[in-house]
């Protein structure tokens, strides 16, 4: 996909995730909206994956360490054909596979995740296995910024640098909000980029809602031989829905009927604008 097609796809995914959250009456809306451009860039442009063969031995791996923001991931996997798209509307219903965190009974999900602080350690093991087995796959791990307060993140960071895992990419969805407020008020993180660099990682800071910047960062891996890469993706929580952007309340707010209609109208207008831009070439 070119950049315009990626931007269009991200808008469509945002519309889908809002619909399934509204229908289920549960979900983590703000974080799923903020991470959509990251996931869209990875799944539609960067990662080596095959929905018809989800266990391909040399596939790239994605670990959603911030597993509570799973709705965007479910919508992307359905759109790509890992499972039927109509199954999306069973999200968080009784007996569904599509629960509120990644579930590895679903094709395309590598590990059950969501207990914050665990995903990077899992990813370090996978990246090390790739090196030792000579398979050459890359491992991408998406973390929340509130998650950076977990000590296990930094143990994994040390291990990733120690084993020189230049096939490992950590991504921080740096939207600066967590369930209880601003990350800097709950547990100050800055200068977060310098902390990661001091642990031996190659750090790239990008606009995490700019698909071109994200693709450039991801496609450059390995950006520094013998070093894992940390992409500091500065995002807007609630991105794409004007009245949800940077509003802490939307961390797990379920849109009302009226809010859903307003949000879909905004996103439909954005999609039409992108389509017109694409036609102009």
What whole-number distance in Å separates Cα of residue 136 and Cα of residue 60? Answer: 9
Lowest mean pLDDT among 39-43, 144-148, 165-169, 220-224: 220-224
Domain spans in the chain, listed from the N-terminal domain onward: 3-280
Cβ-contact 28, 69 below 8 angstroms: yes
Helices (H) and strands (E) in the chain, counts: 9, 7
Residue-wise pLDDT tens digits, 236-259: 999 999 999 999 999 999 999 999
Question: Rounded to the nearest 10 degrees, how much is the dihedral formed by the CA atoms of 115, 245, 279, 76?
Answer: 20
Does residue 60 register a pLDDT over 80?
yes
Average pLDDT of span 37-64: 98
Strands (E), the chain: 61-64, 139-144, 168-174, 177-178, 181-182, 202-207, 229-234
- Whether omega before 273 lies within 30 degrees of 0, making that bond cis, reads no
- Work out whether the CA dihedral 91, 97, 101, 107 comes out positive or negative: negative
User: 3-280 adopts what CATH topology?
Assistant: Rossmann fold (3.40.50)
Residue-wise pLDDT tens digits, 154-181: 999 999 999 999 999 999 999 999 988 8
What are the two backbone dihedrals, phi and then psi, of residue 20, each rounded to the nearest 5 degrees?
A: -75, -35
**pTM: predicted TM-score of the whole model, two decimal places:** 0.97
Q: What does the pLDDT read at residue 179?
A: 87
């Amino acid at each position: 996909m070119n950049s315009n097609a990626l931007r269009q796809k991200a808008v469509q995914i945002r519309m889908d995730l809002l619909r399934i959250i509204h229908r289920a009456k549960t979900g983590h809306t703000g974080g799923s909206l903020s991470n959509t451009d990251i996931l869209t860039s990875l799944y539609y442009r960067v990662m080596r994956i095959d929905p018809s063969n989800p266990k391909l031995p040399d596939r790239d791996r994605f670990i959603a360490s911030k597993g509570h923001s799973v709705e965007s991931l479910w919508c992307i996997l359905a759109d790509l054909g890992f499972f039927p798209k109509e199954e999306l509307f069973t999200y968080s219903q009784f007996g569904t596979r599509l629960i509120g965190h990644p579930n590895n009974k679903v094709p395309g999900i590598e590990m059950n995740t969501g207990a914050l602080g665990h995903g990077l350690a899992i990813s370090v093991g996978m990246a090390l296995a790739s090196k030792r087995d000579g398979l050459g796959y890359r491992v991408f791990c998406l973390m929340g910024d509130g998650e950076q307060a977990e000590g296990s993140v930094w143990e994994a960071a040390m291990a990733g640098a120690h084993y020189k895992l230049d096939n490992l990419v950590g991504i921080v969805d740096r939207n600066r909000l967590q369930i209880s407020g601003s990350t800097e008020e709950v547990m100050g993180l800055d200068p977060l980029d310098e902390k990661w660099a001091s642990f031996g990682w190659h750090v790239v800071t990008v606009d995490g809602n700019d698909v071109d910047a994200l693709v450039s960062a991801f496609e450059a891996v390995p950006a520094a031989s013998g070093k894992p890469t940390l992409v500091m993706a500065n995002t807007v929580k609630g991105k794409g829905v004007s009245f949800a952007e940077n509003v802490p309340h939307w961390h797990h707010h379920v849109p009302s009927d009226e809010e859903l209609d307003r949000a879909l109208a905004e996103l439909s207008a954005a999609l039409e604008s992108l389509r017109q831009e694409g036609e102009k070439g």
